[in-house]
A and B are shown apart, each in its own frame.
Chain A
């Protein structure tokens, strides 16, 4: 059997490429470690010396502000040196290949590569070619995976709901194009959440999504019934062009999260969103800013989760 490319010979996390295929112990180790880092982020000196002398290269082949920034903050809080590369404006446009770019950065003594790429699988390709002491963390590849976002979602759910058993979680909107949704679904099923639902129009749900262990709904009122957690996905404006949707207004009418639709969920349900939000498209402002929204705590937890991931992989 081929070894999981993310794990070393001892079964420890060496790269974080995808939540899919990781055993529950590894996911829980990350969540537990993140909890300790939340303590660090609440102190006056928000820094620990773990990655002192290590270099973290933020390698973003696709634009991102929030994810890149939270990785940068996380690395700095671990005392690493952070180098941000705006690849879109550099070598790639001059024709350098992905592996040549990485080989050059490796020659500059990189320890961790944080990679975002429009092509699914790019971080896997890099992980196969780096030196044994170098580590790769996937910060989003194509439509495939966004494991640190999935992990911070899991962290947020555990923070508010304490336990994964007995939960009903609904993921709403454009599941088809969402690497966030895929990562979260794998995480939730691995950690034993008994009911994971996806809600959206047929055109925005992947064919055969049931095979991932989810129940499919096309109607918000039935789909949200008795949910503990509602995860809204960003409707990517660029998708409108593909004739998958009539209009943003039409989408909001059927799938936009309003207080009225949320009433079907449990009274203590939490509302999550990976950001950036399109208010009035997938979520109404009264919900986004309302008492059940945990969208901003997600961002804060994201830093601790990324600190956990980097400190675990760099130590293995």
Chain B
């Protein structure tokens, strides 16, 4: 099966988001793939507020089964989230659990006016009532596989298929 070109989806998302950017717009990317995509979109949209980056390790709902994820990155939100219109960016939307965790963490920083979810790809399989307001492509993923965003040495983004739960 062929996955869509991440670079093209990125351009498409930037075009779609452009008219929505206002005074109070700010962007937050979820580590790691979402952070890469957010870095791109943030630059393409020339947003005034610096980019926020978020690691949801401390808010995951599988901590009691899986334990703490190794090497969590530090969440850095270099602006006041109160009264913002936030664009929350992730690479692939699947169960919705990551987004749930990210929203919980965000509200420990303040009360944004709104949060819109921006994803490169939506693979279905939602387990929570969450949907993306801006989605690059809908894709189908064979059972037992997962899709991840990769960033090459040249900085180019690409979607890749790999076995789920690979060590």
Do A and B originate from a single complex?
yes
Report A's interface with B, CB cutoff 8 A. Answer: 12, 29, 32-33, 35-40, 43-45, 47-50, 311-312, 315-316
Q: Which of B66-74, B127-135, B136-144, B147-155 contacts A (4 or more CB under 8 A)?
A: B66-74
Which residue of B57, B66, B67, B108 is within 8 Å of A36 (Cβ)? B57
What distance in Å separates the Cβ of A263 from its nearest Cβ neighbour in chain B?
36
What separation, in Å, do the CA atoms of A39 and B52 have in the docked complex? 13
Query: Which 5 interchain pairs have the tightest Cβ spacing?
Result: A315-B67, A48-B58, A45-B108, A39-B74, A315-B68
Question: Which residues of chain A are within 8 angstroms of B71 by Cβ–Cβ distance?
Answer: 29, 32-33
Residue B109 at the chain A interface, CB threshold 8 Å: yes
B48 is an interface residue with CB less than 8 A from chain A? no
Chain A residue nearest to B58 (CB atoms) is: A48
B74, A36: Cβ atoms under 8 Å? yes
Main secondary structure of the interface of B (DSSP, over half): loop
Contact B66 A315 (CB under 8 A): yes
Chain B, interface size category, equals 20 to 34
A45's nearest neighbour on chain B, judged by CB, is B108
**Given A49-B104, A312-B68, A36 contacting B55 (CB threshold 8 A):** yes
Q: What total count of A-B pairs have CB within 8 Å?
A: 51
A56 to chain B, nearest CB (A): 16
The verdict on B75 contacting chain A, using a C-beta distance below 8 Å, is yes
Closest approach, in angstroms, between the C-beta of B28 and any C-beta of chain A?
14
CB < 8 Å: which of A35, A40, A49, A311 contacts B68?
A311
Whether A33 touches B74, Cβ cut-off 8 Å, given contacts A44-B109, A48-B59, is: no
Which of A12, A35, A47, A316 is the one whose CB lies under 8 Å from B108? A47
Complex interface: chain B residues within 8 A of A29 (CB): 70-71
* Beta-carbon contact of A36 and B73 below 8 Å: yes
- Return chain B residues, CB-CB under 8 Å to A33: 68, 71-72
Beyond A29-B70, A37-B58, A48-B58: 20 further Cβ-contacts under 8 Å? A12-B67, A32-B72, A33-B68, A36-B57, A36-B58, A38-B74, A39-B74, A40-B58, A43-B109, A44-B108, A44-B109, A44-B110, A48-B105, A49-B59, A49-B104, A50-B58, A50-B63, A50-B68, A311-B68, A315-B68
Measured CB to CB, the closest approach of chain B to A153, in angstroms, equals: 21
CA distance A32 to B74 in the complex (A): 9
- Minimum distance in angstroms from B19 CB to a CB of chain A: 33
A39 to B68, Cβ gap below 8 A? Answer: no
**Which residues of B have CB within 8 Å of A49?**
58-59, 104
Interface presence of B15 (CB below 8 A): no
A interface, over-half SS: helix
Specify the chain A residue showing the minimal Cβ separation from B110.
Answer: A44
Q: What is the CB-to-nearest-CB distance from A88 to chain B, in angstroms, rounded to a whole number? A: 33
Residue of B nearest to A311 (CB): B68
Instruction: List 28 interface pairs A-B (beta carbons < 8 Å), by A numbering.
Output: A12-B67, A29-B70, A29-B71, A32-B71, A33-B71, A33-B72, A35-B74, A36-B57, A36-B58, A36-B72, A36-B74, A36-B75, A37-B58, A40-B58, A40-B75, A43-B108, A43-B109, A44-B108, A47-B108, A48-B108, A50-B68, A311-B58, A311-B68, A312-B67, A315-B63, A315-B67, A315-B68, A316-B67
- Complex Cα–Cα for A37 and B73 (A): 10
Residues of A within 8 A of B58 (CB): 36-37, 40, 48-50, 311
- Write the nearest CB–CB distance from A313 to chain B, whole angstroms: 9
Q: Which B residues between 74 and 107 are near A, CB-CB below 8 angstroms?
A: 74-76, 104-105
B67 neighbours in A (Cβ, 8 Å): 12, 312, 315-316
Chain A residues near B55 (CB, 8 Å)?
Answer: 36
B109 lies within 8 A of A39 (CB): no
CB distance from A269 to the nearest CB of B (A): 27
A33–B75 Cα distance when bound, in Å, is 12
The minimal Cβ–Cβ distance linking A80 to chain B, given in whole angstroms, is 13
Q: How far is the CB of B21 from chain A (nearest CB, A)?
A: 26
Neighbouring B residues of A312 by C-beta, 8 Å: 67-68
What is the CA–CA distance of A47 and B105 in the complex, to the nearest angstrom? 10
Select the residue from B58, B70, B108 with max chain A CB neighbours within 10 A: B58
Chain A hits for B75, CB < 8 A: 36, 39-40
Q: Contact mask B109-126 → A, CB, 8 Å, 1/0?
A: 110000000000000000
